[in-house]
C-alpha cells in the first residue's frame, strides 16, 4: 500500500449449497491466499456463505443460524489475516431476513451492509426470501458482536490515506441511480460489488461494461465477485448457470479479470487510490460528501504493494496497433482543424523545415489544413536555413519532403548572417557555448517571421510538448511562432504520428513521401547547432538531455497524476524493465533528476508560449493547463529526485 497503490483481490469460492461450515473453510482458504498475495481488499460473492440458490431453505432457522456460526469461525481463523473482506450471507435485522455483506478484517467484524434493491423480476424471484433492510435499524448483533448495520456504511482505513470502501450488490451495477453513486460521492474510493446473478448470453460483457462505466464515472476502483457453478460444487444449475466472473476495475480500465467460466477462484491487481484522489481534488463533484453516511474505521499494516499490473512505458502512445492508428488520426484531425481555423482564407503559412521530426509533422499538418481550406499547397512557403551544424542528410530530406508535398520552397543559408552577428556582439566563433547555438536559432526565427510579414502569413511553430517540458528550445528562437501546432504533442507521439503518415503514404502509393518520412524517422533527433563530424550529426539531443521515452513517461506521471519523483521512479523501473523498452534503475534515476531540475527551471519559457491546440490530458499552456510561477522553488522535488541517485 505504498504510494497510494492498494492491492485488491476478487474471489469466487467453491460453494456447497446449504452447508455454511464447508463454505466457511473455503472462504478462510481464499482469505489466507489473498493475505499471502498482499491484498488489502478481498471481495467475495453474494450469499457465498450459504449459496444464493437455496430458495426456500433461507426460511429455515437452521440455515440462518448455521451461517452466523460459520461467520464466527471465519473471524476466529483469520485473526492473523489483515485483509478487508466482504462476505455474503443471510442475516436477520429487526425481524426481517436480509441479504447482507459482512465486512471483516483481522478477525474483527466491522459492520454489515444489507441489499436494498430487489426491484427487478429476477431478484424478486430468486431472492424472494429476503426483504429490504427495515428502517430505523442501525446496528445488529451478529457472530457475538454488536456492529453497525446499514447501506450507508463506509469503511475507512486509518493507515492507508484515501482507502475508503463501500459494499453494493449485483443489481447496484445496473440500477439507473445506483446506491454506490452516493457512497462514492460520500468519499468511497473502492466499491465492492457482491453478485450472484445467473449467466446469460452477452451478460458478462454487459456486466463488465457496467463496472467499467461505474468506475470511470465515479472516479473509483470497482471489485466485482460473481458466484460460480462448478463441477460438483457451486451454485445450483436447476434453472440457471453462474459463471464465476471476477473483475477489478480502476477508473474505467480493466485491471484484472477472470472471464466467465475462466476457472480461477482468485484474481489480484492494484488500484491506485492516489490517482483517484488526484482527479477528485480537481473536480467539484466530490467536494460536498454525504453527511448521511456513517464511517467505520479500521487499520491495515503498512507494506509495499506488489506491482502485478502492467505499467505502460509509452503512456502517450497506445501499444495496440489499431488503437495507435486511431490515436494518430485523431491527433492529426485536431491539429489540422485548429490550424485551418487560425489561418482561414486570409493568411498564408511559413514553415521552417529542418528535416527533423517536429518540423516534418508541422508541415504535414499545414498541408492538410490547406487541403481542408481548399487552398493550393503552393501557398505554403517552406524554408530551410542551413548553418554550421546542418548535414547533407537533413537538408536533403527537407527538400525532398517539401517537393513531395508540393509546397513553395526556399533555401536561406544563415552562416554568413550568424558570423556577422558574432562580430557585432564580439563573440569568438571558436567558443561553442550557448551563445553560439542560440544565435543560430534566433536568426532562423527572425527570417521566418520576416518572411511571414512579407507574405501576410503566419509562422507555424514546430516545437513539441516534450521540448516545452524540458525547456529544450531557444527563448525567442524556435520557442516562438504565430501558432504552435505541435505544442500539445509529446515527442514519442510525434514519432508515432509521423510513422502513421508514412504508412498511409505508402498504402496510397506516395512512395517518395513515404520514403523520406521513413528516413526522417531513422534520423537521430538533433538541433544541429554544432558543426557536423565527418558529415554526421554531432549533437544528439537524447545524449544531452536524456531519452524522450523516459522524459515523456516522467512528464505524464507528474502532470497527469501529480506523482512525486519517488513514485515516478518506482513506476518507471517497473515500466522499463521489459525487453523492448529497457532502462536500468540507475539510468532512470539519473534522467529523472535532470527532468525534475529542468522542468522547474524552464517554466519561464512556457509562461509566454504561443497559442496552440490542446491535444490530450497533459498540456503545458499557461492559459488553460499548467499554471506555475516561473520562480517557483523546486527544492522539494529536486531533493527527492536526487536522493534516488544514491539509493
What tens digit of pLDDT does each residue of 563-615 get?
999 999 999 999 999 777 789 999 999 999 999 999 999 999 999 999 999 99
CATH 3.60.110.10 is the classification of domain 2-298: yes
* Integer Cα distance of 82 and 308 in angstroms: 20
pLDDT tens-digit map of 311-356? 999 999 999 999 999 999 999 999 999 999 999 999 999 999 999 9
- If you average pLDDT over residues 203-219, what whole number do you get? 87
Sequence-distant (≥ 6) Cβ neighbours of residue 107 within 8 angstroms = 75, 76, 78, 79, 80, 81
* 182-186, 375-379, 515-519: the lowest-pLDDT one: 182-186
pLDDT bracket for residue 171 (50, 70, 90): confident
pLDDT value of residue 537:
63
Q: In what order do the strands lie in the sheet with 457-461?
A: 408-411, 380-384, 348-352, 457-461, 483-484
* 94-108, 159-173, 221-235: the lowest-pLDDT one: 221-235
* Integer Cα distance of 90 and 92 in angstroms: 7
**DSSP letter for each residue of 425-463:** HT--TT--SHHHHHHHHHHHHHHHHHHHHHTTEEEEE--
The class of domain 321-646 in CATH terms is alpha beta
pLDDT value of residue 52:
87
Residue 397: phi, psi to the nearest 5?
-65, -35
pLDDT value of residue 266:
96
Residue 542: phi, psi to the nearest 5?
-70, -20
Q: List C-alpha distances in Å: 379 to 95, 364, 375, 401, 458.
A: 83, 14, 8, 16, 12
**DSSP letter for each residue of 515-575:** HHHHHHHHSPP----S--BTTB----HHHHT--HHHHHHHHIIIIIH---HHHHHHHHHHH
CA 454 to chain centre: 46
Q: Examine domains 2-298 and 321-646 and report if their fold is the same.
A: no
pLDDT value of residue 581:
76
Q: Whole-prediction pTM value? A: 0.91
How would you classify the pairing of strands 164-169 and 190-195?
parallel
pLDDT tens-digit map of 15-61? 998 999 999 999 999 999 999 999 999 999 999 999 988 888 999 99
pLDDT tens-digit map of 33-43? 999 999 999 99
- If you average pLDDT over residues 265-278, what whole number do you get? 94
Percent of the chain having pLDDT more than 90? 75
pLDDT value of residue 236:
64
- If you average pLDDT over residues 166-177, what whole number do you get? 83
In the chain, where the domains are located: 2-298, 321-646
- If you average pLDDT over residues 234-256, what whole number do you get? 83
CB atoms within 10 A of CB 37: 16
- Radius of gyration from C-alpha coordinates of the chain: 31
Residue 357: pLDDT over 80: yes
**DSSP letter for each residue of 186-237:** TT--EEEEEE-----TTHHHHHHHHHHHHHHHTTSEEEEEE-BB-SSSBS--
Higher pLDDT, 274 or 288: 274
pLDDT value of residue 251:
92
C-alpha cell at 361: 509533422
Residue 302: pLDDT over 90: no
* Strand, coil or helix: 54: coil
On whether the CB atoms of residues 65 and 92 are closer than 8 A, the answer is no
pLDDT value of residue 534:
67
φ/ψ bin of 534: left (φ > 0), alpha (ψ from -120 to 50), beta (otherwise): left
C-alpha cell at 621: 499552456
Residue 124: pLDDT over 70: no
Average pLDDT along the chain: 91
CB atoms within 10 A of CB 411: 12
Q: List C-alpha distances in Å: 630 to 470, 604, 612.
A: 14, 5, 20
pLDDT value of residue 133:
85
| Vertex 52 angle, CA 47 and 58, to 5° | 90
* 74-88, 127-141, 346-360, 593-607: the lowest-pLDDT one: 127-141
- If you average pLDDT over residues 84-100, what whole number do you get? 94
Q: List C-alpha distances in Å: 112 to 139, 140, 152, 314, 459.
A: 8, 8, 10, 43, 66
- If you average pLDDT over residues 485-510, what whole number do you get? 97
Amino acid at each position: 500500500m505504498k504510494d497510494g497503490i492498494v492491492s485488491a483481490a476478487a474471489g469466487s469460492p467453491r460453494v456447497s449449497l446449504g452447508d455454511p461450515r464447508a463454505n466457511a473453510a473455503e472462504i478462510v482458504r481464499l482469505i489466507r491466499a489473498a493475505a499471502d498475495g498482499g491484498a488489502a481488499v478481498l471481495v467475495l460473492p453474494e450469499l457465498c456463505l450459504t449459496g444464493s440458490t437455496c430458495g426456500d431453505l433461507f426460511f429455515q432457522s437452521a440455515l440462518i443460524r448455521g451461517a452466523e456460526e460459520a461467520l464466527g469461525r471465519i473471524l476466529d481463523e483469520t485473526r492473523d489475516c489483515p485483509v478487508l473482506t466482504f462476505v455474503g450471507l443471510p442475516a436477520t435485522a429487526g425481524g426481517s431476513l436480509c441479504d447482507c455483506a459482512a465486512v471483516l478484517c483481522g478477525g474483527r467484524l466491522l459492520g454489515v451492509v444489507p441489499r436494498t434493491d430487489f426491484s427487478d423480476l429476477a431478484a424478486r424471484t430468486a431472492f424472494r426470501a429476503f426483504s429490504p433492510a427495515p428502517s430505523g435499524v442501525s446496528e445488529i448483533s451478529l457472530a457475538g458482536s454488536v456492529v453497525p448495520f446499514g447501506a450507508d456504511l463506509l469503511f475507512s482505513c486509518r493507515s492507508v490515506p484515501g482507502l475508503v470502501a463501500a459494499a453494493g450488490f449485483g443489481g447496484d451495477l445496473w440500477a439507473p441511480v445506483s446506491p454506490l453513486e452516493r457512497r462514492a460521492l460520500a468519499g468511497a474510493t473502492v466499491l465492492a460489488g457482491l453478485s450472484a446473478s445467473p449467466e446469460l448470453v452477452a451478460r458478462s460483457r454487459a456486466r463488465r461494461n457496467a463496472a467499467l462505466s461505474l468506475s470511470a464515472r465515479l472516479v473509483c476502483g470497482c471489485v466485482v465477485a460473481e458466484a460460480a457453478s462448478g463441477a460438483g460444487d457451486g451454485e445450483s444449475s436447476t434453472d440457471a448457470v453462474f459463471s464465476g466472473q471476477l473483475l477489478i476495475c480502476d477508473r474505467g480500465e480493466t485491471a484484472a479479470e477472470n472471464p466467465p467460466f475462466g476457472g480461477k477462484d482468485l484474481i489480484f491487481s492494484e488500484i491506485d487510490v492516489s490517482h483517484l484522489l488526484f482527479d477528485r481534488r480537481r473536480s467539484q463533484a466530490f467536494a460536498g460528501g454525504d453527511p448521511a453516511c456513517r464511517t467505520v474505521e479500521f487499520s491495515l499494516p503498512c507494506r509495499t504493494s506488489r506491482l502485478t499490473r502492467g505499467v505502460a512505458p509509452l503512456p502517450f502512445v497506445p501499444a495496440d496497433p489499431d488503437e495507435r492508428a486511431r490515436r494518430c488520426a485523431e491527433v492529426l484531425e485536431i491539429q489540422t482543424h485548429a490550424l485551418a481555423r487560425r489561418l482561414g482564407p486570409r493568411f498564408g503559412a511559413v514553415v521552417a523545415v529542418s528535416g527533423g521530426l517536429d518540423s516534418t509533422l508541422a508541415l504535414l499538418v499545414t498541408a492538410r489544413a490547406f487541403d481542408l481550406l481548399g487552398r493550393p499547397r503552393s501557398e505554403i512557403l517552406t524554408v530551410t536555413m542551413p548553418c554550421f551544424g546542418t548535414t547533407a542528410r537533413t537538408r536533403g530530406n527537407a527538400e525532398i519532403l517539401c517537393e513531395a508535398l508540393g509546397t513553395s520552397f526556399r533555401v536561406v543559408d544563415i552562416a554568413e548572417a550568424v558570423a556577422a552577428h558574432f562580430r557585432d556582439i564580439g563573440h569568438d566563433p571558436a567558443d561553442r557555448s550557448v551563445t553560439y547555438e542560440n544565435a543560430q536559432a534566433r536568426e532562423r526565427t527572425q527570417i521566418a517571421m520576416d518572411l511571414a510579414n512579407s507574405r501576410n502569413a503566419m509562422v507555424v511553430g514546430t516545437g513539441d510538448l516534450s521540448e516545452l517540458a524540458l525547456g529544450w528550445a531557444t527563448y525567442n528562437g524556435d520557442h516562438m511562432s504565430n501558432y504552435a501546432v505541435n505544442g500539445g504533442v509529446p515527442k514519442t507521439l510525434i514519432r508515432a504520428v509521423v510513422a502513421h503518415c508514412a504508412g498511409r503514404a505508402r498504402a496510397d502509393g506516395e512512395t517518395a513521401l513515404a520514403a523520406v518520412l521513413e528516413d526522417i524517422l531513422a534520423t537521430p533527433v538533433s538541433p544541429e547547432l554544432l558543426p557536423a563530424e565527418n558529415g554526421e550529426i554531432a549533437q544528439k539531443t537524447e545524449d544531452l538531455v536524456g531519452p524522450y521515452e523516459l522524459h515523456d513517461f516522467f512528464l505524464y506521471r507528474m502532470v497527469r497524476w501529480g506523482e512525486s519523483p519517488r513514485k515516478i521512479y518506482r513506476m518507471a523501473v517497473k515500466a522499463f524493465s521489459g525487453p523492448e523498452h529497457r532502462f536500468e534503475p540507475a539510468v532512470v534515476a539519473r534522467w529523472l533528476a535532470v527532468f525534475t531540475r529542468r522542468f522547474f527551471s524552464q517554466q519561464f519559457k512556457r509562461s509566454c508560449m504561443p497559442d496552440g491546440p490542446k491535444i490530450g490530458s497533459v498540456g503545458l499552456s499557461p492559459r488553460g493547463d499548467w499554471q506555475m510561477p516561473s520562480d517557483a522553488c523546486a527544492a522539494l522535488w529536486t531533493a527527492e529526485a536526487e536522493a534516488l541517485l544514491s539509493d
